Structure 1
Amino acid sequence: MEATHTASTLAERLQTLPKVELHNHLEGGAMYPDLALRLAARNGITLPFHDAESAAAYYRFSSLDQFIDILRTTVATLNTAEDYADAVERQGIEARRQNIRYHELFVTYGLVSRRGVPWEAVVEGLIEGRRRNAERHGVDTAFIIDLDRTLPGDAALAHVELALAARERAGIVGLGLDCQEAGYPAGRLKHCFAAAAEAGLPLTAHAGEDGGAASIWDALDCGVARIDHGVQAVEDPSLLAVLAEREILLTVCPLSNVALQVFPSLADHTLPQLLAAGIPLCLNSDDPPMFDSDLLTECEAVEAQFGLGEALLVELLRNAVAHSFQPAPARTQLLADFDAAATALGHDRG
C-alpha cells in the first residue's frame, strides 16, 4: 500500500533503505575537489583548479567528449596503489552517508594504462580500498572493469585477461564498456565480451547515451545483461519491447544526462517513456562530484520533475538490488533487508 507520509523529507525516508548503486565510476566519481587536489599534490601534478569553487567552474561540460577530456585531466592524479585505495575509500565514505550498502564501481584501466600505470598497482589499490570500505564504513564494494571502447582490439582483450586473473582477490564482478560512444560501436570488441562471458563474468555496456538505438542493439548483440544509460532506446519501439521482454536493466543517470546535454533539461528526459514501456530501471549518479549529485539527489530531482511517487522510487531502488552482480546469497539477503525497510516505510510488496 502507499505510505502515509510524515513531515520527513523524501531523502530522509529513502535514506532508511539499504541501497545499491550500480552506475558510478571510480575515476570520476571519486574526484571531489579536496581528494583530487590531495592526489595531485602527492603526484606533483598541477590541476586547472585550486578549491571547490574553481573546480565547480572547471566541471562544466557541453558534451560527452568534452567531459571525457576533462576526466582524463583529473584521472592523471591516479598513479599508485595508495591513490586508488584513497579513491575507493572516498566512494565508500559517500556510500555510507547515503546508506548505500553495496555498490559496483566502474574501473577503466584504459584511462591510465597508456601512461604506464601498472595494472598491479591498480589491483592492490582496489583490494585495499575495498578492505577499508568493509571494515571502516560497512560498505561492500565491487568492481566492473570497463573497457575503453577506443582501445585496439588486442589491447582491450589483454585488459579482459588481466581482469579475469584478478577477479577473486580484487572483487571484480563484471565487464563493461565506456568512453567515446560515437564511432566506436560495442561490436568492435565483441570478442572481448565473448571471452569474459566464457569465463562466467557478467556483462554490461554504456550505450544509448551519446549514441542512438543502434548503439543499444549493438551492445545487446554482445550479450550484455544490463545497459548503462540506454536513454535513447525510445527511438525504436521494437527495441523498447525487447528490453522489457528480456528484463534488461537500464542504469539511468538523469542529472548526468542533462549536464552532458544528452537532453536540454530534465523535463525532456525519456525516463517516463522508458518506465511506460515496462523496462526495469534504476537511478544512479554516474560521476557525482562532477555533476554535483548523489543517488538521493537523483531521486529528489526525478520526483520533483515527474512526480513518480515514493512507491515507484522505492521500486527503482529495489531494481538495483535485484539486478546487481552481487553473489546470489548476499543479494538475496540484501533484498530481504531492503524489503523489510520498505515495509517499514509503508511499501509492502505483499
Structure 2
Amino acid sequence: MRRAFMLQCLTGTALALVVGPGQTQAQTAQGYPDRPIQVIIPYAQGGAADATIRMLAPAMGEFLGQPLVLENRTGGGATIGAATVAQAQPNGYMVLSDASAHTVNHALMRNLPFDYARDFAPIARLSVYPLLFLVPAAEPATDLTAFAAAARGRPRLAYSSAGVGSASHLAAFLFAQQAGLDAAHVAYRGGSQGAQALAAGDTQFMLASSAAGRGLVEAGRLRVLAVAGRARLPLLPAVPTVTEALPPGFELAEWSGIWAPAGTPELVLDRVAAAAGHALGRPEMRARMPELGMDAAGYQPRPEFERFVRDQRALMTRLAVGAGIRPE
C-alpha cells in the first residue's frame, strides 16, 4: 500500500512537471490583466511613440479593465528603455511603445545587450505620421530648393533627429546626401527635443513627425518647407512634398507600435492588440487623427504588424547601409 501511494505521488509530480507551467501560463493569460500594465517609452515626451500611447492609454485601459502606467525611460538612442522591456517577465505587465528606430538600431549600434528581432513580440502598430521638413522661423529660405541652395554655402550645418536610426535620422541623411550638403547629425532623446533644439537655433533643419513638430509650428517658432510623403497633407495643402520640391526626393514616415517581451502568451498579445484597435476605432479618436496629422489607416493588428516589422527591418537596414550611415 505504501509503495502504491509513493508511485501515485511520483506520477502526479511528473505530470505536474510536464503540464504545470503551461497550465499556469494559460490560466494567467486567461485572467489577464489583473493589475496595471506598465508601458515603457524609450523617448522623451512629445514624439510619435509618446504622443500616440498617451492619447490611447485611457481608452485602452478602459477596454482592458486595468490602467496603463506610462514611463519615459530615455537614453542610449532608445535602447535603455527597450532593454528594460526585453529583459522583463513575458507576462504582459510591461510592454514597449517604440517607433521606427526599433527596426534599424541593430544595424546602427554596436554591442547591444539584446536582440531587437529575437527578444520582442510585436503586438500592434498604433500610428503613422508623415515627416515634416522643418526649419527655424528665422530661416530666410521660403522653399526647399532655396534652402538647399543656400545651405551648400554654409560652413557649419547640423540637423536634429529623434535618435540614431529613427525615420527622422534617415530622412535627414537622405536629404543631405541628395542635396549635396555636408551636415552633422545631432541625435536627441526623441522628436520633441530635436524640434525644440531646432527652434532654439542649435541645428538648422529637421525632418520630424507632425506629433513632434506641430506645436512649435503653430507657435510660430518653426516653419514647414515640405512633407516627406507621397502626397500633400490635408492639414497643410499648400506645402509640397519633398519629391515635388527637390526631385528625385524620397518618401519616409514615422510610425509607432507596441511590443512585449518574447515568449509572452498569444492570448495576452491579442488582448492588448484588441485594446489598441478599440481605442483607435472610437469616433472621437478618428476625428482627432487628421488634426494631428496621423494617417487614419495607421492601426495594424498583430499578424499584419509582424509582417510590417519584418519588412521595415529589411527596408530601414538597406537604407541605412546604402546611405553609408556608420554604426555608432
TM above 0.5, yes or no, is no
Q: What is the TM-score with the length of structure 2 in the denominator? A: 0.28
Q: Bigger relative contact order, structure 1 or 2, given CA contacts below 8 A and separation 6+?
A: 2
Q: Which has the higher strand share?
A: 2
Q: Which has the higher helix share?
A: 1
